[in-house]
């Protein structure tokens, strides 16, 4: 029973009523003793039973207010199955979409909350989030819109783009070997999206450990949760744009020798062949097992084979190195903690009730 269901006042004598109070549930209830002859200890036990019935308090929900796992049960009961079917289709074509869908959730929720704003197109006067420097090479937007079209066919105007992002990230992760987690629905779509907001909120791939900790702390996440969610880099691919600073501009010299000295030398040579200096558009896998969600990411980081500067930064701090080493081992809590982190992320800044809208297509406001 939740902690706020705990107030039971003792009467001065056994003939007085026992007052049962359950804060945040109902008004205090009174259980009258039939007679003073009833043993008071038995009366207390009776009161506790009645208290549980009257109060009916539930454990605190892990979801933001307005969200629930059965939100679409009556309005679109097939919503989760439709999303799952489309995700399966996309992954059969290209398993690296699992990483793309994870990235979309993170890049959406971290900027003004989980409201689908990362999917919006720019307008004539406003550059949308997708145009931000930190969102270079963002994938999966067209695929989310395809899922939306399928949902609109069966349940027009019901399922939000924001919820589709959350479901797709969960389903894709599970389908490539990662954990699954319960997903609460009920988010509505935002109508504002600017590149400046994305570049202001999202962590750039050149941040050091303290910079990453500060960025995540601003959203209510701990250093360990930051390291946990960095594990999303175990799947997917990246354009060279985010990798070049690690190879050619580690200290700001911007030349072919300015490589992170902590990077495995053979690995650095390998990356430079795939990402020549100045080439922002080539794509590479960001993990040695990029099509499978596993612990290889943490093993790679420990051996100087982190793709991004932010990956390598994780072991520059004693706490970071301890967590990375722990997650790299069989039987670690990585999967469990990653799932919890994704649920927590899905609660950020949600719009519910009459806030926002339910878009007809994900790339345009209604």
As annotated, the active-site residues are: 107
133 is in an annotated binding site: no
294 is in an annotated binding site: yes
24 is in an annotated binding site: no
CB–CB of 234/328 below 8 Å? Answer: no
Q: Could you tell me which residues come within 8 angstroms of residue 202 by beta carbon, excluding any fewer than 6 positions away?
A: 107, 110, 111, 132, 134, 135
Q: What is the dihedral sign for C-alpha 188, 192, 198, 200?
A: negative
39 is in an annotated binding site: no
Based on its alpha-carbon atoms, the radius of gyration of the chain, rounded to whole angstroms, reads: 25
> Left (φ > 0), alpha (ψ -120 to 50) or beta: where does 223 sit?
alpha
Residue with tokens 């869908």: 101
Q: Could you tell me which residues come within 8 angstroms of residue 47 by beta carbon, excluding any fewer than 6 positions away?
A: 8, 18, 20, 31
208, two tokens: 């050091």
203 is in an annotated binding site: yes
199 is in an annotated binding site: no
287 is in an annotated binding site: yes
Closest to 343 (Cα-Cα) out of 32, 28, 45, 63: 63
Cα 2 from Cα 160, distance rounded (Å): 32
255 is in an annotated binding site: no
239 is in an annotated binding site: no
Residue with tokens 């062949």: 273
Q: How many residues does the chain have?
A: 366
Annotated binding site for substrate: 203
Annotated binding site for heme b: 233
Annotated binding site: 108, 111, 113, 115, 117, 129, 203, 233-234, 287, 294
Annotated binding site for Ca(2+): 108, 111, 113, 115, 117, 129, 234, 287, 294
């Amino acid at each position: 029973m939740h902690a706020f269901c705990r107030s039971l006042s003792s009467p001065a004598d056994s003939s007085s009523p026992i007052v049962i109070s359950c804060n945040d549930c109902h008004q205090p209830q009174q259980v009258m003793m039939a007679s003073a002859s009833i043993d008071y200890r038995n009366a207390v036990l009776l009161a506790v039973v009645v208290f549980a019935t009257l109060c009916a308090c539930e454990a605190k929900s892990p979801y933001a207010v307005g969200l629930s796992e059965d939100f679409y049960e009556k309005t679109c009961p097939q919503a989760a199955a439709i999303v799952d079917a489309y995700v399966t289709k996309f992954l059969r074509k290209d398993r690296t979409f699992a990483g793309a869908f994870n990235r979309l959730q993170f890049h959406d929720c971290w900027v003004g909350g989980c409201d689908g704003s990362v999917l919006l197109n720019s307008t004539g006067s406003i550059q949308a989030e997708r145009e931000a420097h930190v969102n270079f090479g963002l994938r999966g937007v067209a695929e989310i819109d395809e899922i939306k079209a399928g949902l609109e066919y069966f349940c027009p105007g019901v399922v939000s783009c924001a919820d589709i992002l959350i479901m797709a990230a969960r389903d894709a992760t599970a389908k490539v070997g990662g954990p699954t987690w319960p997903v609460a629905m009920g988010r509505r779509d935002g109508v504002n999206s600017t590149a400046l907001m994305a570049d202001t909120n999202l962590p750039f791939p050149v941040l050091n450990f303290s910079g990453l900790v500060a960025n995540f702390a601003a959203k209510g996440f701990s250093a360990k949760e930051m390291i946990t969610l960095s594990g999303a880099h175990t799947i997917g691919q990246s354009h060279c744009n985010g990798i070049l600073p690690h190879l050619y501009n580690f200290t700001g010299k911007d030349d072919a020798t300015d490589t992170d000295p902590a990077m495995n030398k053979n690995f650095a040579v390998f990356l430079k062949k795939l990402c020549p200096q100045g080439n922002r558009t080539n794509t590479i896998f960001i993990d040695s097992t990029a099509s499978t969600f596993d612990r290889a990411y943490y093993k790679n980081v420990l051996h100087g084979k982190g793709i991004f500067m932010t990956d390598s930064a994780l072991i520059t701090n004693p706490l970071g190195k301890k967590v990375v080493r722990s997650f790299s081992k069989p039987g670690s809590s990585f999967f469990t903690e990653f799932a919890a982190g994704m649920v927590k992320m899905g609660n950020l800044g949600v719009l519910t009730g009459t806030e926002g809208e339910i878009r007809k297509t994900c790339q345009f406001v209604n």
